[in-house]
Amino acid sequence: MSGSRVVLAGAVILLVLGYAVLSGTWVGHEPGWYAALPRPRWQPPDWVFGIMWPLNFLALAIAGVAVVTSAARGTALAFLGVLAASIALALGWAYAFYVPHRLGLAAGLLAATALLTWLLLVLAVRSTAWAGVLLVPYAVWLSVATSLAVGYWRLVSPAAAS
């Protein structure tokens, strides 16, 4: 593996680690507030989140490293750029939802994250099919999470429900 591919793989790992650490920090910001929110009917039990997020971070790191180390350079760089943008939006969601409690903004940020994640999946499948398949649960999870974010916003914000 060339030195530039090692750098790209390192960038993927750093992005995913930063994603996990920062989102975890913001999610734990004010646990009493989150616990008191009315829940959308389709929300899975809390323990599902505890299983899914670490698996999603792991899948994102493995798939990302596979793509950036094996894809054509242009595809690898495009994947890394979309990954960075999707992580920035996901972190924006975590901050907006859990810190200032701006649920409408958070839902919009998460929707954009989900869209970029489906694009990541397409980029991955085109270069490393198994890496794209590995990203399917993450993309589905973010789509479900987006529906939950919208559900929270509608339950909490009277203006959103009308």
User: How do residues 52-85 score in pLDDT, each as one tens digit?
Assistant: 999 999 999 999 999 999 999 999 999 999 999 9
Residue 24: predicted pLDDT: 85
Q: Sign of the CA dihedral 46, 50, 53, 59?
A: negative
Instruction: Give the chain's length.
Output: 162
**pTM for the model:** 0.91
For the chain, how big is the Rg over CA atoms in Å?
Answer: 16
Per-residue pLDDT of the chain (162 residues; tens, 9 = 90+): 688 989 999 999 999 999 999 988 877 777 788 889 999 999 999 899 889 999 999 999 999 999 999 999 999 999 999 999 999 999 999 999 999 999 999 999 999 999 999 999 999 999 999 999 999 999 999 999 999 999 999 999 876 554
- Give the Cα separation of 3 and 37 in Å (integer): 48
